[in-house]
Amino acid sequence: MKDETLLFRIKFGLRIKELRIIKKIDQASLAAELNKDKQFINRYENEGANPRADIVQDLAKVLGLKSIDELYDFSNLKDEEVKDLYEKIKGK
């Protein structure tokens, strides 16, 4: 996998985590609203899982976003957090 692709996936997962924390819900609660299990959300947040279009739409809706574009606003992510997760995933 290209580094750019992995970095996008990592940022996407961290953005889900950021929005989930703002909404004050845990992984299990978010997963339940999507009819998924906790591991599903964990794979996005911690393993850089590949986001499918239908899941992106569902996440935006469940997280109360006005549009899916808000899921791609990575401006508040900390570079150090992105780097740490990147190194963790690449080390597997």
- CATH number of the domain that residue 80 is part of: 1.10.260.40
Residue keyed to tokens 């900390």: 78
Residue 64: both structure tokens together: 């109360």
DSSP symbols for 43-67: HHHHH-PPPPHHHHHHHHHHTT-SS
The number of distinct structural domains making up the chain is 1
In this model, does residue 90 exceed pLDDT 90? no
| Cα–Cα distance measured from residue 52 to residue 21, given in angstroms and rounded to the nearest whole number | 22
**pLDDT recorded at residue 43:** 96
| Cα–Cα distance measured from residue 81 to residue 13, given in angstroms and rounded to the nearest whole number | 11
Q: Please give the residue range of the domain that contains residue 66.
A: 3-90
In this model, does residue 24 exceed pLDDT 80? yes
The beta strand positions in 6-90, using DSSP E, are: none
